[in-house]
Amino acid sequence: MFKQVTYTGMIWLLAAQLAVMLPFVFDLPVWLVPVLLFAAGWRLRVLAGLASQPGNVTKLVLVLLGGGGLLLSGLQFPSLDAMASLLLLGFAFKSLEVVQRRDAIVVIFIGYFLVALHFLYTQSMLAALYGTLSMVVLTGALVGVQQSVTEFSTAQNVRFNLRLALVMLLQCLPLMAAIFVFAPRLPPLWSLPLSHVQAKTGVSDHMAPGDIEKLGKSDELAFRVSFQGKRPEQSELYWRGLVFNHFDGREWRQFEQDYDATQVAGALQTSFRWSPDKIRTPGEAVAYEAVYEKTGQPWLFTLTPTVEVSGDVLQGADYRVMAREVLQAPFLLKAVSYPQAQRDLALDPLMRSLALELPANSDPRSRELAGRLWRETGAAQAYIDKVLARFGSLGYEYTLNPPTLGGRDTIDAFLFDSQRGFCAHYAGSFVFLMRAAGIPARVVVGYQGGEWNETGQYLAVHQYDAHAWAEVWLPERGWVRVDPTTVVAPSRTEQGLEAAVRAEGSFLADSVFSVRKIAWLNTLNQQLDTVQYGWRRWVLGYDSAQQAELLKALLGSLSVAKVALLAGSVFGAIALGWLVLLGMTRRQAKEALEHRLYRQFCAALAKRGVQREPGDTPGAFAAEAAAALPKLAGVIHEFTRVYESVCYAPDAMDGRNAARKLKVLLGKLN
């Protein structure tokens, strides 16, 4: 016969449900939490005798309302969000019918599954710590719904259950670490599609006036980089992401058609395949590791050109590196780049045509300017220098708050009217002027610079480091990077965006709570970010390749027999350690609370001159003590009566109330 869940057990169950559901509030419909509170509140009222058990009709209505709520939430079916929401709804409604302990245990086991499920949404170190806390609370609830120490108060029971849960989890840590290190890294057997409405962050696949400056107002982290050798100069840190060849008069895009990520990946494997034969690699190599944050997009950002790269990525003829799947989790990339390399000394006809195309009949004033400057110079490099000098001499301004340029002839509007813009304005207009003069050119978008973390010895690149620059193709030099922004705001590449816009005070102006604005908070944030980066790199980045490297370092050469022997030795050592620890920590049965209180009672009377002999019964000792201490006779006899009742007639008195009464009487003797 299954026992019913007590009122205290339901409190434990409610606490466990709240702990499990809380992190899902940031990813799933927020109305699921009130549903949980409503269901748990009803259950508590039933236990307190203030409400009746919900009938089948009530349960059916609640299930229909919950299902309708999921449909109206706009979640895609099937998807991870929809399945998680459905499971959470069942998790909440299950508490309505929790009567017996087996029902509570089912709820707790679902809670364990949900803790694991949340790691599909985030794998940050904070999420791991909270997941561990949820496991402790769930295990404490599992203990709490099955047992309760009667002589403990409620607070003592809570501490006992939590301590026992924590000890049980700590005992599992060695086994968990061994499984993490030795278990094969296998691909998932099944998967659910992620929601298409998930927010995409970072650089997008098109560039219009106003797009990149929006990123310039965000302090979200984009990626972190560790260099294996000397770190390049700040002004050389151009992190290449996308290449824009097509311009429709207002917006720059990768191709004339709007391709999704799958189509872009297909193009990089067919028409725009990367060929290492087109690169000459003079100069020193730069080897580094980058850990990219989840963005919902496949774009990766590397130093140009990336020659060697590891990971599930694609390389393109335009020297981009792209993940095969959108980034729904932190992504580790190891790469080697040659910043001084020469690229495409012989330009492919397709790439040349893409780098020269311009929309017909757009921006006539810019076309006329390009023709005039070309006639004045007559050579590509002289023409480039002339255009850059024009940016530097005519009062152009670099700003995060540029004016709007309208829907037509945006290049004309910027070059001749507003003359105030962000990097996208300068890169786009520069490429237009190059193409108008017959010089192949293209826009490159990514990030520039980054914040060096001295403690962790890595570079943190944020969204406000987003940048656009240009590349021009020159005979005998190939593709050459040209950044017209440096002419107008040289501090942008040397010191970062904050220095470039310090005069107008627009840096993170919309981020009221940004830690970058307070020096000591920024320092503290860097310290915390160092720990988080270690977590990203060594825990989340522990894949099959790193596992193989570790095993090779331990075993020299890999074989099934060696790995099995090492794993067996580790697991055997853990089992032996458990046996030794259990033997060392085994203690005799703990003395009952009433006996401990009686010993304190005897000690208190001994201080007053009344010593109990080993052969005295409690009643005889009480008579002797009362005769010697007549003023305390009532307290002595009452303490002895309660003590004897607990020892010899436990069914006649509640153990918790008896212990509380003994403590009160003992206090009167001290």
pLDDT bin (cut points 50, 70, 90) of residue 472 is very high
Average pLDDT, the chain: 83
Q: Which of 233, 343, 340 is nearest to 284 (CA)?
A: 340
What pLDDT, on the 0 to 100 scale, is given for residue 587?
Answer: 55
- On whether the CB atoms of residues 134 and 20 are closer than 8 A, the answer is yes
Of residues 152 and 8, the one with the higher pLDDT is 8
Q: Residues of the chain with pLDDT > 70: what percent?
A: 90
Amino acid letter, 325: E
What pLDDT, on the 0 to 100 scale, is given for residue 198?
Answer: 46
What pLDDT, on the 0 to 100 scale, is given for residue 480?
Answer: 96
* Chain centre to alpha carbon of residue 404: 36
Select which of 219, 318, 344, 483 is catalytic.
483
- On whether the CB atoms of residues 545 and 558 are closer than 8 A, the answer is no
Amino acid letter, 159: R
**What confidence tens digit (pLDDT) does each residue in 607-620 have?**
888 898 888 888 89
**What confidence tens digit (pLDDT) does each residue in 414-471 have?**
999 989 988 899 999 999 999 999 999 999 999 999 999 988 899 999 988 999 999 9
Select which of 118, 246, 425, 467 is catalytic.
467
Our answer to whether residue 467 is catalytic in this structure is yes
* Chain centre to alpha carbon of residue 575: 34
Which two structure tokens, joined as six digits, stand for 434?
């190059």
What pLDDT, on the 0 to 100 scale, is given for residue 515?
Answer: 63
Of residues 472 and 55, the one with the higher pLDDT is 472
The stretch 127-152 carries a mean pLDDT of: 82
Measure the CA–CA gap between 659 and 661, rounded to whole angstroms. Answer: 5
Tokens 């720990």 belong to 531
**What confidence tens digit (pLDDT) does each residue in 219-277 have?**
888 999 999 988 999 999 999 999 999 998 888 998 888 888 888 888 888 888 888 88
Of residues 436 and 64, the one with the higher pLDDT is 436
**What confidence tens digit (pLDDT) does each residue in 325-335 have?**
888 778 889 99
pLDDT value at 661 more than 70: yes
Q: Which residues contact 397 (CB under 8 A, 6 or more apart)?
A: 419, 420, 421, 488
Q: Which of 523, 542, 550, 347 is nearest to 451 (CA)?
A: 523
Q: What are phi and psi of 220, to 5 degrees?
A: -65, 145
Of residues 17 and 355, the one with the higher pLDDT is 355
Count of CB atoms situated within 10 Å of the CB of 399: 20
What pLDDT, on the 0 to 100 scale, is given for residue 538?
Answer: 78
Tokens 């309760």 belong to 148
Lowest mean pLDDT among 98-107, 210-219, 254-263, 339-348: 210-219
What pLDDT, on the 0 to 100 scale, is given for residue 517?
Answer: 65
Measure the CA–CA gap between 650 and 652, rounded to whole angstroms. Answer: 5
Measure the CA–CA gap between 666 and 594, rounded to whole angstroms. Answer: 11
What pLDDT, on the 0 to 100 scale, is given for residue 152?
Answer: 60
Residue 383 three-state SS: helix
The stretch 516-531 carries a mean pLDDT of: 77
Buried b or exposed e, range 509-545, using 16+ CB within 10 angstroms: eeeeebbbeeeeeeeebbeebbebbebbbeebbeeee
Please state whether the predicted TM-score (pTM) of the whole model is above 0.75: no
The stretch 84-94 carries a mean pLDDT of: 80
Measure the CA–CA gap between 248 and 442, rounded to whole angstroms. Answer: 14
Characterize the bridge pairing of strands 331-337 and 302-303.
Answer: unpaired
What pLDDT, on the 0 to 100 scale, is given for residue 1?
Answer: 44
**What confidence tens digit (pLDDT) does each residue in 378-427 have?**
899 999 999 999 998 888 999 888 888 877 889 999 999 989 988 899 99
Termini Cα distance of the chain: 47
Q: Can you name the residues that pair with 522 across neighbouring β-strands? A: none
- On whether the CB atoms of residues 333 and 311 are closer than 8 A, the answer is yes
The strand order across the sheet containing 206-207 reads: 206-207, 252-253, 246-247
Of residues 134 and 658, the one with the higher pLDDT is 134
The strand order across the sheet containing 458-462 reads: 306-310, 331-337, 286-292, 221-227, 458-462, 451-453
Measure the CA–CA gap between 515 and 370, rounded to whole angstroms. Answer: 45
What pLDDT, on the 0 to 100 scale, is given for residue 396?
Answer: 92
Select which of 423, 425, 462, 465 is catalytic.
423
Our answer to whether residue 206 is catalytic in this structure is no
Lowest mean pLDDT among 172-186, 477-491, 507-521, 539-553: 507-521
What pLDDT, on the 0 to 100 scale, is given for residue 542?
Answer: 75
- On whether the CB atoms of residues 289 and 537 are closer than 8 A, the answer is yes
Helix ranges (H only) for 183-230 are 211-215
Amino acid letter, 428: G
pLDDT value at 161 more than 50: yes
Our answer to whether residue 637 is catalytic in this structure is no
What pLDDT, on the 0 to 100 scale, is given for residue 652?
Answer: 63
The strand order across the sheet containing 279-280 reads: 279-280, 342-343, 478-482, 466-474, 441-448, 238-244, 302-303
Measure the CA–CA gap between 241 and 101, rounded to whole angstroms. Answer: 56
